[in-house]
Amino acid sequence: MSYKENGYLLLENFFTETNLYAIEKILYKFHEKWMVDNASSFEKGVLNSHSLTSGNYLDMEEKTALFQFISQQSIQEIIDTIYTDTPVFLNTQLFFDPKDNSQKNYWHRDIQYTGLTVEEQKQAIKHQDVVHFRIPMKAELGIELIPKTHREWDLPHEFDVRNSLNNSKPSDDLERGKTIQLNRGDLLVFSANMIHRGIYGKDRFSFDVIFCNNIPEIKRFIDQSNYPSEGILKKLKNKELFRS
């Protein structure tokens, strides 16, 4: 199964316990602080945080550990197989369950939130890729996605569902959906171009690392404060991903 054809790649048991242990405490530390400062957003249904490597929730040593994890050789090798150009780091996110366990999930393509027209989106997905590396800290129900839609446009009903048109709701089931359940240690690589939705439950806690093409259309979304400082950069063996 190839990423290029399907838009995703599941690599089971990709990470060792040692590998995960090096970042797990740091992720929970960030999450606890985020929850204190963002209690009202969580009440309102927010189910992810972002930008773990900027701000002051984590100290320099903790940020360095995250960057060492992100730039490790085994991840770089996967990046090299899925991109034909030389991509760069975009950001990080944590995904958790919404406070209200009856909250519905929603099909979307990330690109639908970027302000591009539908015609521009159709063109853009042919050559641009924002790619998530999903790293679950515990077993989770995962992501449901529609294979090949990283390059192919929606069927009419799929478009209606993710845009709430013609009496459709973004949480409606879609026939072509494929659910990828994940275990601790697994790595799910998927293009955010794809029609996809998160499957909530099991008190999930996933770390997503996001990469993108090194092209101006996408680089406008890079916030340099998420990049390693000069001091941290010196400590990294692989600086490739941060040359933006």
Contact footprint for ligand AKG (CB under 6 A) = 47, 95, 110, 132, 143, 192, 196, 198, 208
CA separation for the pair 3, 189 (Å, rounded): 8
CA separation for the pair 221, 133 (Å, rounded): 17
CA separation for the pair 62, 133 (Å, rounded): 20
CA separation for the pair 136, 138 (Å, rounded): 5
- Provide the minimum distance between the beta carbon of 129 and ligand AKG in the complex, in angstroms, as a whole number: 13
Residue 46 Ramachandran class (φ > 0 left, ψ -120 to 50 alpha, else beta): beta
Q: Which residue, 187 or 232, is less far from ligand AKG as judged by CB?
A: 187
The residues with which 205 forms a beta bridge, in sequence order, are 96
- Provide the minimum distance between the beta carbon of 222 and ligand AKG in the complex, in angstroms, as a whole number: 17
- Provide the minimum distance between the beta carbon of 171 and ligand AKG in the complex, in angstroms, as a whole number: 12
3-state helix, strand, coil in the chain (%, to 5): 35, 20, 45
Q: Which residue, 15 or 95, is less far from ligand AKG as judged by CB?
A: 95
Q: Under DSSP, is residue 29 helix (H, G, I), strand (E, B) or coil?
A: helix
Q: Under DSSP, is residue 91 helix (H, G, I), strand (E, B) or coil?
A: strand
Residue 142 near residue 181, CB atoms below 8 Å? yes
Q: Which residue, 31 or 196, is less far from ligand AKG as judged by CB?
A: 196
Q: Which residue, 163 or 238, is less far from ligand AKG as judged by CB?
A: 163
Q: Which residue, 53 or 64, is less far from ligand AKG as judged by CB?
A: 53
Q: Which residue, judged by CB position, is nearest to ligand AKG in the bound state?
A: 198
- Provide the minimum distance between the beta carbon of 47 and ligand AKG in the complex, in angstroms, as a whole number: 6
Q: Which single residue is written with the structure tokens 């034909």?
A: 84
- Provide the minimum distance between the beta carbon of 133 and ligand AKG in the complex, in angstroms, as a whole number: 10
Q: In this structure, what token pair is assigned to residue 169?
A: 């709701």
- Provide the minimum distance between the beta carbon of 67 and ligand AKG in the complex, in angstroms, as a whole number: 20
Q: Which residue, 90 or 143, is less far from ligand AKG as judged by CB?
A: 143
